[in-house]
Amino acid sequence: MIVCDHRKDERTFSNFLSLLGMQLDRAGCLLLDIIWIDDVINEWSSRVIQIIQRKAPFSHWRSPTVCLWGRDATPDNLFGHNDAFTNLKHLSILCRTVEPVIRAINRLTTSKPQVLDLNDWYLIPALQDIYFESLNNIYTLILPKRQNPFANSFFLPPNVTNLQANWRHGHPFPHLQTYKLMQCTFIRKRLIDLRNLTSLVVTAVLEVFANCEVELPSLRHLTHARIRLGKSAKIEAPLLETLHIKGKHPREMSDSEQTAMDAALHHPGYCLSAKKSLIVEWCLSEKNLARLLEISPQVEHVSLCFVKSTSFDWLVRRILQVEACSLPPRDALSGTLCPRMKALRVYFLWNTEDKAIAWNVKYYKEMASEAIKARMESGVVPEIYGTWKELCTSIQLA
């Protein structure tokens, strides 16, 4: 990656030019990811551009990031010659206005960018103005962190199938297939049209407000962290294959976060049932684990985290159906959990001394081997793997 920036004195800048030239010589014909920062138009800018024209023609540019912050900064300073982009894939723009940059690049490119990364929400209205001439090849759009979440509708080119944003309240995107948000909010009065969405990733909070029912008919993969459901709210994805619940270590969670997760998992409107893979990085209580596993009868691969050994002991007995008489009354639930499970991976997050790990492995191997006998009659005998945080690899327990 080459960062083109200005230096404070002639000696330092000359050294930078020498280093830049050497770096470009070594790069040869390799495709380049270039960050161009231009906030002052002066002789130094033109000297950098001269080196780029000689040693890094636009045909070598794959992923340029263009930062124009100065009042007099213009893309014509960089893109003012007739060299052509032939391998352009990803364009990032950090400017006060987006149209001049896209138009300048579009004038020189024979391969239109497939990924567009914008820096601020006030640039978004410009998309419709330049779409037909410049954006008809883009399939991934990355919106800025400061994007207005209340912008219920803005022009989104129909060829964009992958959208990344910070926070959205409205979701009028029937053509989207993959969607990544930090915070995703569903409100009854806001338009929700995600009929073709197959993958949704929410890194912070997924929230469904009161009286709002969300159906994601094509969703196959869902990742969420915290989740909140209001009164009479509902979220369902009938074709869901993979459910990934990301979380924190219990020591890093507040009581309110844990309470909210407990309430969400037991909310009657939480109808998310994975058919293939269930990955839980949140250290849930035994009660919440039982609830999550009960509503996932078709899941085949399960991955769970534990911070205490008694929870794993409970899991082995409960999920693999050791005789009910050996379980405490609170665990004697009816029915077999996850009857189609083929693999169980467990991560032990409690501190274990090195000399105790071998004993732990032996103990859990004996427990797992004995427990899976209860599954043999069903014809689906799961493999069980354990990973201690002190170890770098998984160990097959049964």
Any domain includes 42? yes
User: What pLDDT sits at residue 126?
Assistant: 57
Element (H, E) at 384: strand 383-388
Which single residue is written with the structure tokens 């009660």?
287
Quote the radius of gyration of the chain (alpha carbons, Å).
27
Element (H, E) at 264: helix 255-265
User: What pLDDT sits at residue 335?
Assistant: 58
State how many domains the chain has. Answer: 1
Q: How far apart, in whole angstroms, are the C-alpha atoms of residue 395 and residue 391? A: 9
Any domain includes 311? no
Any domain includes 130? yes
pTM of the model: 0.83
List the structure tokens of 234: 């509902």
pLDDT, one tens digit for every residue, the chain (398 residues) = 555 555 467 788 888 889 888 988 998 889 999 888 766 556 677 788 888 888 888 888 899 888 776 666 667 667 766 678 888 888 888 776 677 777 777 777 777 778 888 765 555 555 655 554 556 778 898 876 655 554 545 667 788 899 998 888 889 899 999 999 999 999 988 889 999 999 999 999 999 999 999 999 999 999 999 899 999 999 999 999 999 999 766 666 777 777 888 899 999 999 999 999 999 988 788 888 888 998 999 999 999 988 877 777 777 777 665 433 333 433 333 457 788 889 999 888 876 666 677 777 888 888 788 777 767 766 677 888 888 877 777 888 87
Any domain includes 70? yes
Where in the sequence is the domain holding 17, given as residue range(s)? Answer: 1-160
- Strand-pairing partners, residue 346, are 304, 386
Any domain includes 181? no
CA neighbours within 13 Å on the CB side: how many for 239? 11
Any domain includes 170? no
Contacts of 298 (CB under 8 A, 6+ apart): 273, 274, 275, 276, 340
Contact 42, 70 (CB under 8 A): no
Any domain includes 60? yes
Contact 205, 228 (CB under 8 A): yes
- Strand-pairing partners, residue 347, are 305, 387
Any domain includes 190? no
Q: How far apart, in whole angstroms, are the C-alpha atoms of residue 186 and residue 213? A: 9
Per-residue three-class SS string for 197-208: CCEEEEEEEEEE
